[in-house]
């Protein structure tokens, strides 16, 4: 969120993210059940890639590590190395 705010030169993303997290924390009655449901849903999502010849470990590395690294790299480049 900090990188998006730096790119846009406004604080909308930090404020919006904080508000969403606060609302979720306040409105969820049993956070442990929510966390377990969320984890099981992500496992089901990653297992969907078994249909195309991948497995859980490979899918989790690509989805949870490589794609975020690529996105962070692009955002850092845009935030700190933009043409002046």
Rounded Cα distance, 37 and 43, in Å = 10
User: What pLDDT score was predicted for residue 1?
Assistant: 83
* DSSP annotation of 29: S
User: What pLDDT score was predicted for residue 68?
Assistant: 95
Q: Using an 8 Å Cβ cutoff, are 34 and 51 in contact?
A: no
Does 84 score more than 60 pLDDT? no
Rounded Cα distance, 33 and 13, in Å = 28
**Tens-digit pLDDT profile for residues 10-69:** 999 999 999 999 999 899 999 999 999 999 999 999 999 999 999 999 999 999 999 999
Rounded Cα distance, 83 and 35, in Å = 42
Does 83 score more than 80 pLDDT? no
Q: Using an 8 Å Cβ cutoff, are 56 and 43 in contact?
A: yes
């Amino acid at each position: 969120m900090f990188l998006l705010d730096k790119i846009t030169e406004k604080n909308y993303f930090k404020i919006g993210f904080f508000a969403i997290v606060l609302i979720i924390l306040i409105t969820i009655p049993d956070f442990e059940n929510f966390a377990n449901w969320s984890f099981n849903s992500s496992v089901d999502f990653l297992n969907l890639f078994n249909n195309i010849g991948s497995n859980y470990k490979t899918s989790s590395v690509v989805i949870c590590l490589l794609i975020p690294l690529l996105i962070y790299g692009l955002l850092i480049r845009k935030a700190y190395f933009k043409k002046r």
